[in-house]
Amino acid sequence: MQMQWKDEYKRKLVSAKEAVKVVKSGDRVVTPLIIKDETLSLALFERRNELKGVKIQRMGHGPNPGWLDPGYEDSFELTLALYVGDTARPLLDAKKADFQPGIFSLEFKALDERPAGQRKDVDVLFVVTSPPSSNGFCSFGFDLWHKKEYAKRARIVIAEVDEHQIRTYGDNYIHVSEIDYFVEHTPPLLTDAEVKKTLASVQPEERRNKLWDILKDIEVERRNEWLPILMGVKTEFLNFAPKMIGTAEPEEDVKTIAGYVSEIIEDGDVLQFGGGAPSAQLVRCGVLEGKHDLGIHTEMACRGLVKAIWDGIITNKRKNLHQGKSVFTTLMGLSQKEIAWCDNNPLIEVYGVDYVTNIKTVSSVNNYVAINSAISIDLTGQINAETVFAGRMWNGALGQVDQHIGATLSKGGKAVTCVRSTGLGGAISRIVAQHEPGTVVSVPRYFADYVVSEFGIARLLGKTQRERANELVAIAHPNFRDELKKQAKEFFG
């Protein structure tokens, strides 16, 4: 058996150019979260003149292989699923790509249960894995998400093998026999000198300097992950990148929000932190200080969580599910030092997002506290985490909806929504009387629970419309409270 998988691996080992020959015109090619393949998408784009109508479904568009540029619409039809990302957002704005909304709890229902003609089969899947272990199992590294579940459903699975990928406990593996083709590619580590060399041709100088300011703060081991993504981001959006990566120093209003969220968290609670700002920055602001026996069951990791394990704040002792273990579906939000500590560590378990964030799973975890961010919230408690300027898609909600609803259904659970009181440098209120037409309601008002801004805590669960409005007006920015009070009076008396 030992020799069999090794022979099978050698037999399936091909170049990227050879691997992507399996893609035919009209096929659906899926690249799951988070996209890291460096050679497969590029090799597929090289076939642009011989392919027609290839449906590319990407969950979180990373580097641009070429099909984001104009002129290739006949060869590649792009769908962004669950997440948008800065590199692909302009294409969505221009109506040259489509968006597939969804939540992880329902991600595979149509694929599994709907008759032919209603579902969209997966013809080819691109994933990144580690090399095989001594028993022939490859790891999906620190980013599992839904890759294993897609691999079960795809007609052909192509794995790009990267020696940098770590191994974790949980359900984060796939056997050589379940993969059709292997392409070996381990990106080199990027030193400061190599990064500067890569950026030398970037114009104008302002953009080059911004890119360097971001990349110099990223660990050498992670630069190859972020460099190609950042190269595709418009200059005006680069200011958001350090918050997304986790290297930005939290601002004062985030530290204030952390203080209020800390009042909601109790000893023994099982926590989830969303990947957006400000929720992903709260741990670094001391939100867990002074707490005892906390647990972790979260889709995404954020910097500081592993340190809280080291400090004995997170013990997972009181969890009724996966007791003693910190459960994630991705570790990408951690620092490189934290990720290295998670490698082959039995205290850390990584499972598929369809399990970790499933509303049924989350609601079965006692004292579950979901902590996420919002773009805006109206006076009835409707939470928008996806659109700006009414109907412009900013990003999908990923696991936020599942975990928020699951938390409200959990015995002793709480759902916390963090929102800065203003946006656009103070020009607009993020707490609004009514959402503008076209705004996506990510979380219905029925599940609105705690809302936290830098001005306090609004407690909405079980409240009337009038009571909710009063709670939210009280945590709005003072510059907008009078107008919000007036509108609340008009709506609710």
* Contacts made by residues 459-462, CB under 8 angstroms, sequence distance 24+: 460/381, 461/408
Q: How far apart are CA 299 and CA 54, in angstroms?
A: 31
Neighbours of 134 (CB within 10 A): 8
Element of type H or E holding 125? strand 124-129
Q: Which tokens hold the place of 206?
A: 């302002």
Active site residue 338: no
Q: Which of 96, 98, 99, 168 is nearest to 129 (CA)?
A: 168
CB 80 within 8 A of CB 93: no
Please say whether the dihedral angle defined by the alpha carbons of residues 279, 282, 283 and 287, taken in this order, is positive or negative: negative
| C-beta neighbour count of 108 within 10 angstroms | 17
Q: Is 71 buried (19+), middle (13-18) or exposed (0-12) by CB count in 10 A?
A: exposed
Answer whether 369's CB lies under 8 Å from 270's CB. Answer: yes
Whether the Cβ atoms of residue 352 and residue 329 lie closer than 8 Å to each other: yes
For 61, the token pair is 């568009």
Query: Which listed residue (38, 77, 149, 299) is catalytic?
Result: 299
Specify the 3-state DSSP secondary structure of 54.
strand
Token pair 């963090």 is found at: 418
DSSP state of 69: S
Q: Which helix (H) or strand (E) holds 337?
A: helix 336-342
DSSP state of 284: G
The H or E element that residue 227 is part of is helix 220-231
Residue 447 has a CB neighbour count (10 Å cut-off) of 19
Q: How many CB atoms lie within 10 A of CB 141?
A: 25
Q: Is 59 helix (H, G, I), strand (E, B) or coil?
A: coil
- The angle that helices 205-215 and 192-199 make with each other, rounded to 10 degrees, is 160
Coil, helix or strand at residue 171: coil
* Catalytic site positions: 299
